[in-house]
Chains A and B, each alone.
Chain A
Amino acid sequence: MARIGVFVCHCGENISATVDCGKVAETIGKLKHVVLSTEYKYMCSDPGQTLIKEAIKEHNLTGVVVSACSPRMHEPTFRKACAEGGLNPYLCEMANLREHCSWVHEKNELTTEKAIDIVRTQVEKVKLNSALQPIKVPVTKTAMVIGGGIAGIQAALDIANTGHKVVMIERSPSIGGHMSQLSETFPTLDCSQCILTPRMVEVAQHPNITLYTYAEVESVEGFIGNFTVKVRKKAKSLDEKLCTGCGLCTTKCPQKKIPNEFEQGMGMRPAIYIPFPQAVPNRPVIDREHCTYYIKGKCKICEIVCPTKAIRFDQPDEIIELQIGAIVAATGFDIKHADFFPEYGYGRYKDIIDGLQFERLASASGPTSGVIKRPSDGQIPKNIVFIACAGSRDPAKGIAYCSKICCMYTAKHAMLYKHKVHEGKAHVFYMDIRSGGKNYDEFVRRAIEEDHVNYIRGRVSTIYERNGKLIVKGVDTLLSSMPVEIEADMVVLATAGVANSGAEELAQKLHISYDSHKFFAEAHPKLKPVETNTAGIFLAGACQNPKDIPDSVSQASGSAVKVAALFSQNELTREPLVAVVNRMGPPLHSTCVGCFLCQAVCPYQAIEREDIKTRDGKVLKSLAKINEGLCQGCGTCVALCRSKSIDLHGYSNNQVYAEVVALLNEY
């Protein structure tokens, strides 16, 4: 027989000022199975909690209803108190008399009556609560970092340095990401490669890090602490153990006219190539799409010249399966390209380039060895226009957000230009200058004041070519509000930062959510910016939204700590408020009929198929089975299940039904 204790809290006067707490306690005390119904000024205080603990023992309570504030506030408090009093914490419910009653109604009888209804409802519910045990799942202490840019590198190193194993997956032939393409970095103008390369090498040499480049995630199954990840190692057409990285093959390859991705298409590379001199690993791969042998069936010059006979034309893709405990997604971003800006003439006029292309032009290792030469004729531009917010903050273009990094790198670009072309004129069209960050605004001011970059507040409507010049038509909204026309030799568009290609597919493989721009979604915009809604998967860097290097690195370190915290436990405990499929003895085994429509509604792929078999392996019946590690307890499957074969701990059919009845009927 149920023995329920009810504790009505006054919350100082927060509740008792409008609700007659004495009457509530008295009325509830008359309910069947309520053996104790009492009131107290502050239930959450130490004496209040002690009251509960003692009552549990004294009255041998089987259920507790604390009638106080919102369970979103103090449910953990009182569940803990019950546990300390010797009662299973899940046999405690809260009746929300404050936020949902005393604070929102006037003092009168109706309010007290409502309070009684609310408490009665919880009493009827708690009678049907079951004692639940936290769910324990083991943890595989190996992390996977997807993406080898600066965020991924930082996360991998931080995790590896805590002593845990890390697998890093990078889809291009080298790690380094966009940072390796940059010339110099704001706000210090130190060389990007110089600070990045040591980190890249550290990754390659770290005993706890296994690096797979030219590899992509094929599938992810499982749950926090227990992921099974399949990785496709694309064929490099190379025996990496034999290759010394001498690079002879790359110089002899006859196919040399392939736009170089690392140079943002501003240079060419051969079909067998090392993406850039500092690449890690410093080994070539054959780009099978462009390789003459794969296209025409003959050539094999690289094989002939290779001194160690390392070329393997028949190498297949390899799928490896890894057991992983936590995943850090650090897949970075891309920038909006080409035909997105027809009015800016990108793609039509050679001398209109994007920010990353300018980085390569300005880079000492770039196609022009760091001399700012315009692509069309190699002339040094005398008059250069930078357009910030090319696409960003433009709802009409479908990108309403600020790409965050453009203001700063545009200032840097203008500065670099002025440092290299002293007599040149640099103009920047901008909407606002967003230079929040340590030493950021000073940096922009330096561009304006010391380097005399001409900042024009206004947008550019169109760019077209006339008399060999690029006519940039815009408006100056600060001085005259009149149209401005600049005859430029070159234009640099700070195009919007967008989600990397394949982000959506990867998110679907990881079962994490993503926003309408395909950026990965954090679990909470403020309080859980590193977590995703899928437990055990964390975010680092610009895959979440455009970020600069310090932000990416900070978040990467944050995600590393999350992983390390997870790996500090041998097993995980989770709230047991999960769904469960009923089971019974043969011949029924369960009332589940195995339609598996629940699999379709589950946002977490937490519903598995379980085959009931005879001893000789014949399948008698297939049932749905909830994976407790994955289930988050939303209950959508419960409401969908036609035969009511699934139920949800904490919100069971019996409980919610009893709540409806209790709320509307007097007892």
Chain B
Amino acid sequence: MTEAIIFYLFSTVAVVSALMMISVRNPVRAAFYLVLSFFASAIIWLLLQAEFLAIVLVLVYVGAVMVLFLFVVMMLDLNIVEKESGFTRYFPIGIMLAAITFFSIYYVLGQKESGMDVFQSQPLSTAASHVEGYSNTKELGKLLYSEYVYAFEIAAMLLLVAIVAAISLTYRRRPKTRHQNPDLQVSARHEDRIRIVKIPVEERK
């Protein structure tokens, strides 16, 4: 019963904030709504006993990715026009299309012969009963570094690509900015800094 309340509460939050996210015009607000949606989802993930991932979602997503989003939004210094509608002209058709997609998903999941019947009667709590001392994190870690080591390496490469790409795309050398050159700084000798010039004394006439 508690589970059901938690589920309905947080799924409502997730869905409503998702809806808000796509309908507000201000990207900063949208980002915050997305964060909210992520939080709610994380709680639902906890409900499904995916503790590690729930934490990762909050840490990585909310902590890093969404901050990056906000950072970019702020950096770009956008001027948001509030008056115009932010939606396309065929907004209703678009909504209808999304609704069709959703209802076909809904229909499939509700079908008896869809292949879902094996799960249908299973309540949440008994679905996966773990022995005492079971650790979701440990279990994932074991798999990750043994069976999925290949995938893990590719994922590492992916992050490297992201770094290289992001830097090479956004980095620009501004010709007029003054920047330090540590190499020169360190190798500077005092002769370079001070030049003692002997000025001949001139007698005042």
Mutual binders A and B: no
Residues of A with Cβ closer than 8 Å to B? none
Q: Give residues in B with beta carbon < 8 Å to A.
A: none
